[in-house]
Chain A
Amino acid sequence: MVNYVPVLIILIIAIGMAAIIIILSRFAAKNRPTREKLMPYECGVEPVGTARERQSVKFYLVAMVFLLFDIEAVFLVPWAAVFRGVVQSGPYQHLRYVFYGEMMVFMVVLFVGLVYVWRKGILEWNR
């Protein structure tokens, strides 16, 4: 647990660096705003419409499928970390085929999910 203190240290130092950079630019830079400079950029013409319009639902679907496969990956990580140890020696060695088989079942079920998403056309972006 004590090994995590450097994480805190670098978090604080990195946030400090970011803050210093922002403050530096706030003081060192010129600040002469004109109407054109403050408008949203739209290749030189006056902006049309607002930026807060509805976006496509495709992004939601991608995020959803990503979430589910991320959970799968998270289950795979501890399995992978102990798999070699279990196979080679240790108190669970007689269960090594079970270990392997269980995870294969898990991955097959999720592969079915991937095939479903594939066939439904979620992974095509140019509908």
Chain B
Amino acid sequence: MTNLLLEWIIKTLVILLILVTAVAYVTLMERKVMAWIQMRVGPNRVGLGKFKLWGLMQPLADGLKMIFKEDIIPLQANQWLYVLAPAISLVPALMTFIVIPYGSEITLFGRTIELHVTRLNVGLLYVLALTSVGVYGIVLAGWSSNNKYSLMGGLRSSAQMISYELALGLSIVSVVLYSGSLDLVEIVDAQRGFHGLAWNIFHYPLLILVFVIFYIASLAETNRTPFDLPEADSELVAGYHTEYSSMKFVMFQMAEYLNLITASSIATTLFFGGWNGPSVGRLPFLGPVYFTIKVLALIFLAMWIRYTVPRFRYDQLMRFGWKFLLPASIVNIIISSTVILFTR
């Protein structure tokens, strides 16, 4: 039992370490991608002492700077909630990564280690539950700041998030129809075979539409453009995080990028075969490599969309979520179940 406990703790710490580093470098990736799309170069000067590192230390510099920024709590703000809200945003964002499988099994030091922290029977529902809880961070941040813009931004942001959560959940139901299980490990295992290319997208082509719905819904869930009106600079100052400074602001940003990474990881697991790829059976360490490549590709797609497409107005956004995405995902479920029923 203690062996198992130790294994869990070590896996969790490794994953958290990788995650925090990943978030830092995704911010750098965002700035570089933004720069290259806008035909400029982006951060390329921050090095380490005498070593020229071409901007790779930028996240470290930014992080250190943020720690030393002044930590202001507005006078009329609701103190407890003001400090609690970023934590409520950050904690569920970190918790999703323990159910995602990163590889099959590797043998290290004579033990077979499976490359997922734990295997929950209702893994997909667990992820959905954490997304639902993440809404509270935003709405409480808006309320507790005692600022009209924050409150409006917070309410609008959370209304947007819950509207698109429906489309997200229903598109997950389509995938569950095909996989027959809520367990993420099992969903990925079912996509083995055919030289590692039996991904759900190829095996069940209807899932391409479902992936599009899922991806759009997750862009709206994570408040990324074109759905980021509630935190757009020219509209509502900075929305729900107007009054936040220093590390609490950093926690919100971390939570936002973590949500993006989560959405991409879930999309990879459900639609693109997770860690599957050519010759992953013979070289199991390729599993995490394929997984990382796919997740990075989806994150790049999100950034590409961000710097290409203009923002939705808020009523257009809500109309799109309720009048188009929700009926589309319902129709998808009906079609998928009919197909399964009649082509056994």
- Contact surface of A with B, Cβ cutoff 8 Å: 2-7, 9-11, 13-15, 17-19, 21-22, 24-26, 28-33, 37-43, 47, 49, 51-53, 55, 58-59, 62-63, 65-66, 69-70, 73, 76-77, 80-85, 87-88, 96-97, 100, 103-104, 107, 111, 114, 118, 123-126
Chain A's closest residue to B1 (CB) is: A2
Interface of A is mostly: helix
Interface string of B272-288 (1 = CB under 8 A from A): 00000000000000000
- Distance between B329 CB and nearest chain A CB, rounded to angstroms: 9
Residues of A within 8 A of B248 (CB): 22, 25
- Distance between B193 CB and nearest chain A CB, rounded to angstroms: 17
Asked whether B91 lies within 8 Å of A15 as measured between CB atoms, the reply is yes
Other 4 A-B pairs with CB < 8 A, given A6-B8, A7-B95, A21-B251: A7-B118, A25-B71, A77-B176, A83-B177
Give the size range of B's interface with the partner: 35 or more
Residues of B within 8 A of A32 (CB): 70
Residues of B within 8 A of A40 (CB): 74, 76, 145-148, 243
- Contact surface of B with A, Cβ cutoff 8 Å: 4-5, 8-9, 11-13, 16, 67-72, 74-76, 83, 86-87, 90-91, 94-95, 98, 117-121, 125-126, 145-152, 155, 159, 162-163, 165-166, 169-170, 173-174, 176-182, 237, 242-243, 246-248, 250-251, 314-315, 318-319, 322-323, 326-327, 330, 333-334, 337-338, 340-341, 344
Q: Decide: A13 near B12, CB < 8 A? Known: A29-B70, A51-B148.
A: yes
Residues of B within 8 A of A6 (CB): 8, 11-12, 98, 117-118
- Distance between A12 CB and nearest chain B CB, rounded to angstroms: 10
Residues of A within 8 A of B179 (CB): 84
Number of A-B contacts (CB under 8 A): 201
Residues of A within 8 A of B159 (CB): 58-59, 62-63
Asked whether A14 lies within 8 Å of B90 as measured between CB atoms, the reply is yes
Asked whether A26 lies within 8 Å of B71 as measured between CB atoms, the reply is yes
Chain B's closest residue to A93 (CB) is: B344
Residues of A within 8 A of B341 (CB): 87, 96-97, 100
Kindly list the 6 A-B residue pairs having the minimum CB-CB distance in the complex, ordered from nearest: A25-B247, A125-B315, A84-B180, A18-B87, A40-B147, A29-B71
CA of A31 to CA of B318 in the docked complex: distance in angstroms?
Answer: 41
Asked whether B170 lies within 8 Å of A76 as measured between CB atoms, the reply is yes
Residues of B within 8 A of A28 (CB): 67-68
CA of A107 to CA of B322 in the docked complex: distance in angstroms?
Answer: 16
CA of A21 to CA of B76 in the docked complex: distance in angstroms?
Answer: 23
Asked whether B68 lies within 8 Å of A104 as measured between CB atoms, the reply is no
Residues of A within 8 A of B71 (CB): 25-26, 29-31
A sample of 15 cross-chain residue pairs with beta-carbon separation below 8 angstroms, ordered by A number, consists of: A4-B120, A7-B126, A13-B13, A22-B248, A28-B67, A29-B70, A30-B70, A30-B71, A41-B149, A52-B146, A66-B163, A77-B173, A81-B176, A82-B180, A83-B177
Q: Decide: A3 near B176, CB < 8 A? Known: A15-B91, A21-B250, A40-B146.
A: no
CA of A9 to CA of B145 in the docked complex: distance in angstroms?
Answer: 31
- Distance between B45 CB and nearest chain A CB, rounded to angstroms: 25
CA of A59 to CA of B334 in the docked complex: distance in angstroms?
Answer: 30
Q: Decide: A55 near B155, CB < 8 A? Known: A7-B98, A66-B166.
A: yes
Please tell me which one of the listed residues B72, B166, B327 contacts residue A38 in the complex, with CB atoms under 8 A apart.
B72
Among B75, B147, B341: residue with most chain A CB under 10 A: B341
CA of A97 to CA of B337 in the docked complex: distance in angstroms?
Answer: 11
Asked whether A66 lies within 8 Å of B162 as measured between CB atoms, the reply is yes
